[in-house]
Amino acid sequence: MDSKSISYIINELGEDRENYFNAVSPPIIQTSNFSFTKVDQLRKAFEDEYSTFLYSRGLNPTVRILSQKLAALDGAEDCLVCNSGASAIFAAVLSQVKSGDHIISVDQPYTWAQKLFNNILPKFDVSVTYVDGRAIENFEAAVRPNTRIIYLETPNSWSFYLQELEAVSKLARSKNVITICDNSYCTPLYQRPIDFGIDLVLQSATKYLNGHSDVVAGVLSGKKILIEKIFNSEYLNMGIGISPFNAWLILRGLRTLPSRLEKSSITTKKIISYLESRDEVEEVHYPFNPNFPQYKLAQKQMLGAGGLFSFVLKTKTIREIENFCEGLKHILMAVSWGGHESLVIPGCASIRPNEFDPNNKVHRRLRMYTGLEEADYLIEDLEGGFSKMA
């Protein structure tokens, strides 16, 4: 997808301005339902809600403008915009399994995907096998006759481990298995899993797509036959559609997506270079860092890596990690990523202090997102954090 195509999709696709007074910005159609003048029109709407504006739990004109753009960016036939990334995951997975089925998932996927696999699906006799996704052989060994889904997340948002999309999709097709990929890290601008044969692609629109930290949303893209099936079942039954206002906010955010990604990527390289020069830092994990073990694969299937990375501190105590984080004045300590603001989150926040093991790198790992601030501004703040460690 070239820059001209991206510009057209983001700024024009789906925006029939002559239908709304030639306004440059699309309207927010803030309505719950739509009226009809003929009974036959209403009857047809009941028969095919996927193609008709009937009730905003299903389709809404503002949401439809957004979904057209997001499907085109993904290289998909259609997409659904959900009220969270977690609901997009839930709908995608639930649509493809029944009692007795089996799922293969990469190790340590997004928290709420893992909770779905561990806590909810077993209630319905759906089992999950976790594999190290860095080797295709691990997927091959895990396939069973009742396997229905291979669930991917590439890169992972903490370890940044990658899966080879083309190899996994070929394996899945040979076994008649559906592939689902979480593409939140890259966005469609930096990776398009559908181009590698993946069936369903989802992402958190909360992050880069919206980019202003004021919306929670998710996206699910794929072939029309799959998307329509999900729309008529999980999407409508669970009521997971996004509101028109939040859709409009994401439309606003999309306008600047290429510029924001570029800015964040450039600054991140400077931040990583700085961190690698610090004695307090043991290692940095970033797919586009030449030192990253899967750097060649990242170069093959990704066009960029954005602003999310992690680093491991050299320390024997949890207190030093806490001092570092609490010593930052401008980089906020918070979950998520993809907004205008830089963020950090220590892995040790998910454990009790007495559980800290200095020999476990995961406990000493911090994840950082580089926002739109200038590199020098962020480096100065990081220096302040390092000065507070002892």
Q: What is the pLDDT of residues 166-225, one digit of tens each?
A: 999 999 999 999 999 999 999 999 999 999 999 999 999 999 999 999 999 999 999 999
What pLDDT was estimated at residue 235? 98
265-306: pLDDT as tens digits: 999 999 999 999 999 999 999 999 999 999 999 999 999 999
* Per-domain boundaries in the chain: 3-254, 256-388
Strands (E), the chain: 78-82, 102-106, 127-131, 147-153, 178-182, 200-204, 218-222, 281-285, 308-313, 332-333, 343-346, 365-369
DSSP state of 233: I
* Spatial contact of 147 and 126, defined as CB atoms under 8 Å apart: no
What pLDDT was estimated at residue 4? 75
Q: For 308-334, give one letter per residue: b (16+ CB within 10 A) or e.
A: bbbbbbebeebebbbbbbebbeebeee
What pLDDT was estimated at residue 327? 97
CA distance linking residue 369 with residue 115, whole number of Å = 24
Give the tokens for residue 20.
């709304």
Mapping DSSP to helix (H, G, I), strand (E, B) and coil, where does residue 201 land? strand
Fold type of domain 256-388: Aspartate Aminotransferase, domain 1 (3.90.1150)
CA distance linking residue 34 with residue 28, whole number of Å = 14
Fold type of domain 3-254: Aspartate Aminotransferase; domain 2 (3.40.640)
Residues in the chain with pLDDT values less than 50: none
CA distance linking residue 139 with residue 150, whole number of Å = 8
Q: Name the pTM for this structure.
A: 0.96
* Spatial contact of 62 and 28, defined as CB atoms under 8 Å apart: yes
* Spatial contact of 158 and 347, defined as CB atoms under 8 Å apart: yes
What pLDDT was estimated at residue 268? 98
The amino acid that residue 1 corresponds to is M
